[in-house]
Structure 1
Amino acid sequence: MTIENSNWTATLDKMPSTEGPKLHVSGTVTVANPGVRASLVRRDKPMFKDLVVRLDLCLENTDAIVLQVETEQAVRFSTDGTTDWTFVEIYHNDALLVRMGVDRVC
């Protein structure tokens, strides 16, 4: 199943703050209806030791009674940014959905 997606950004924010550096990833996905929740989580598959963050796009059905109309949802992910990440890969059902470079804010 192909997931429509757009507006992906990946930013490594190294500006001074109390939280320290952060990697922020965001984008938009189209889900089957408003009762489906989309989220980004770190992949639990074995990782290579490289500078790529690998995420899974998870879709979870809720028990809500909703109209059956396709809906766009914003998804976000943030993590510690002490590593100089260069790319982000997002997977859905073990298929690569998007690969993007990481922008830096210093």
Structure 2
Amino acid sequence: MESRVEDIVIVGAGIAGLATSLGLHSLGIRSLVLESSNDLRVTGFALTIWTNGWKALDTLGIGNILQQEHIQLHGNVTTSLLTGQQTSTTALATAM
């Protein structure tokens, strides 16, 4: 096995681990990302990114790429699991 020297070792190739690695790379700092899974898991999910999250992604240089693929949330509706009745509605301002 080849020996490598890295400045930083990041455990976990989830969103936080990969974003950390990308940020370090942009600063010229080498990192090694370790992941316990043998396979890339591509499954359905939802991810909400608030304004400060988009600013962080812009800082990493990937915000504009992700914005081309996202669906903007305009609000949410909360419904009671017991009655099925709507209990509240929240409209979200457009921040982008």
Above 0.5 in TM-score?
no
Higher helix share: 2
Q: Of Structure 1 and Structure 2, which has the larger fraction of its residues in strand?
A: 1
TM bracket, shorter-chain basis: under 0.3
Q: Give the number of the structure with larger relative contact order, counting CA–CA contacts within 8 Å between residues 6 or more apart.
A: 1
TM-score computed with the length of structure 2 as normaliser: 0.24
